[in-house]
Amino acid sequence: MMDQGSARRPPLWSAGFAGLLALVLLGFANLAAFYGLEPWLRSRGLGPAQAGLAIAGFTLVALVLIPPLSARITPATAGRCIVAGFAVTLLALPLYALAEGFPALLALRLLHGLGFVLTLVGIITAFVATVPPGREGEAYALFGVADLLPFALLPPLMELSLPRFGGDPAAQYAAMALLQAPALLLAAWIARRPPPAAPPAEAPGPAAPMAHPVRLLLAVNTAAFLAHALLFSLLKPRALELEGAALVGLFFGLQTATIMALRLLAGSAFDRLDQRSTAAAGLGLVALALGALALPLPALALVPLALAIGLGFGAALPLLNALMHRHSPPERRGANLNLMMLTLQLGYLLGPLLGGLAVGLVGYAGAFLLAALSVAAALPALRRLPR
């Protein structure tokens, strides 16, 4: 029997909420489709350093532009920002089939990064305004499914369809414009919808002090994504050391499936549990599993560790966003949730750099110990959040 508190829960789903989830899926396809970018750049004549800089340029645009944009975009202007982002992306994608040489490819990656940043900042600002009170955990769990689904679907689909594109990924990148065109139309529809009612003080000045819980959550999220980036970039060589190379694909498949299943099945429970304690438990499980990867395990141990990491990240990451939503004043929610996305970019920039240094000093096992310690060090900060 439903209790009275559950009966009074405000509705989560609306046309605008569903439309924004669709835009999240289509927007993150711009990341998932480029899983094989490095070898393609090398095939275009770029050296290792040039290819790395071209890939990093996309992230650097986010690091530079997300803070000022998130401070200026409001729910009333978010729709126009999304439209601008998809328009730039629609322009950039066909150019992958035409760009030649390092300067042109670097400029293209910067342009593509600009489109993605405009899209991301606009979507998050609009999304935050649609989340009803008491449904934060479920809302961000669904957001997490939408942004993860392209990474589960696009790589195998692109591998299967590559022969139809003459074996050239550039033709696939250009064809991605066909996926972004309906996104632009949907973004235009979102932009024409009336914005939600503005909170009493919608645009605080950039000098407004950042609250202590906000700083804590940004630090915890950075540590979580740093560890995630280390796992993503170093699991394969570590699996080779453990004689489990054949299980790498299964590892990532199980991890992704576990994350999505947990968020779909337990999303509403995320609003009934103590979000601080549940997020801490999830990160604790991740820290233990990453620490185990530093041990001389049998190869089959990769399977339960994939499930453990999927459960841990599947619970912790949406709850960190939900906690940021709850600990932010209404007029700062969009900006603060965009800063949470900035920590993702920061983690994926610092993770491979620190991981490479750790591998050079203490090997792959030591790098996974570093990943485990980075997550474990964040747990006391999470426990310091006010209830």
Can you give the pLDDT at residue 5?
Answer: 44
Can you give the pLDDT at residue 267?
Answer: 80
Q: Between 162 and 195, where is the model more confident?
A: 162
Q: What is the pLDDT of residues 227-261, one digit of tens each?
A: 999 998 899 999 999 999 889 889 998 999 999 99
pLDDT of 194 over the 50 cut = yes
Measure the CA–CA gap between 306 and 302, rounded to whole angstroms: 6
Measure the CA–CA gap between 297 and 304, rounded to whole angstroms: 12
Q: Which residues contact 145 (CB under 8 A, 6 or more apart)?
A: 260, 263, 264
Q: What is the pLDDT of residues 263-300, one digit of tens each?
A: 999 888 999 989 999 999 999 999 999 999 999 999 99
Question: Would you say 53 and 106 are in contact if contact means Cβ atoms under 8 Å apart?
Answer: yes
Q: What is the pLDDT of residues 78-124, one digit of tens each?
A: 999 999 999 999 999 999 999 999 999 999 999 999 999 999 999 99
What mean pLDDT, rounded, does the chain reach?
90
Q: Indicate the angle between helix axes 275-292 and 212-241, nearest 10 degrees.
A: 30
Band of the pLDDT at 353, cuts 50, 70, 90?
Answer: confident
DSSP state at residue 41: H
Can you give the pLDDT at residue 210?
Answer: 67
What average pLDDT does the segment 181-197 reach?
Answer: 87
Band of the pLDDT at 195, cuts 50, 70, 90?
Answer: low
Q: Do the first three CATH levels of 12-198 and 209-387 match, i.e. the same topology?
A: yes
Q: Between 43 and 211, where is the model more confident?
A: 43
Question: Would you say 171 and 165 are in contact if contact means Cβ atoms under 8 Å apart?
Answer: yes
For residue 331, the tally of other CB atoms under 10 A from its CB is 16
What pTM did the predictor assign? 0.89
Structure tokens at 18: 């569903």
Can you give the pLDDT at residue 352?
Answer: 84
For residue 189, the tally of other CB atoms under 10 A from its CB is 13
Q: What is the second-level CATH architecture of the domain 209-387?
A: Up-down Bundle (1.20)
Can you give the pLDDT at residue 189?
Answer: 95
Can you give the pLDDT at residue 142?
Answer: 96
Q: What is the pLDDT of residues 278-287, one digit of tens each?
A: 999 999 999 9
Amino acid (one-letter) located at 286: V
Measure the CA–CA gap between 63 and 81, rounded to whole angstroms: 17
Q: Between 191 and 2, where is the model more confident?
A: 191
Q: Where are the alpha helices (DSSP H) in the chain?
A: 4-7, 15-32, 37-43, 48-72, 78-92, 102-130, 136-161, 169-175, 177-192, 212-241, 248-265, 275-292, 302-327, 333-383
Band of the pLDDT at 36, cuts 50, 70, 90?
Answer: confident
What average pLDDT does the segment 326-331 reach?
Answer: 91
Buried b (16+ CB within 10 A) or exposed e, 342-381: bbbbbbbbbbbebbeebbeeeebbebbbbbbbbbbebbee
Q: In the chain, where are the structural domains located?
A: 12-198, 209-387
What average pLDDT does the segment 337-346 reach?
Answer: 94
Measure the CA–CA gap between 370 and 352, rounded to whole angstroms: 12
For residue 151, the tally of other CB atoms under 10 A from its CB is 16
Measure the CA–CA gap between 198 and 75, rounded to whole angstroms: 8
What average pLDDT does the segment 322-346 reach?
Answer: 93
For residue 239, the tally of other CB atoms under 10 A from its CB is 19
Q: Indicate the angle between helix axes 48-72 and 333-383, nearest 10 degrees.
A: 110
Report the C-alpha dihedral over residues 44, 233, 375, 244, rounded to 10 degrees.
170
Can you give the pLDDT at residue 206?
Answer: 46
Measure the CA–CA gap between 348 and 222, rounded to whole angstroms: 9
Q: Which of 40-54, 98-112, 194-208 has the lowest mean pLDDT?
A: 194-208
Between the CA of residue 111 and those of 40, 90, 93, 103, 303, what are the distances in Å?
18, 11, 10, 12, 39
pLDDT of 63 over the 60 cut = yes
Measure the CA–CA gap between 24 and 143, rounded to whole angstroms: 7
Q: What is the second-level CATH architecture of the domain 12-198?
A: Up-down Bundle (1.20)
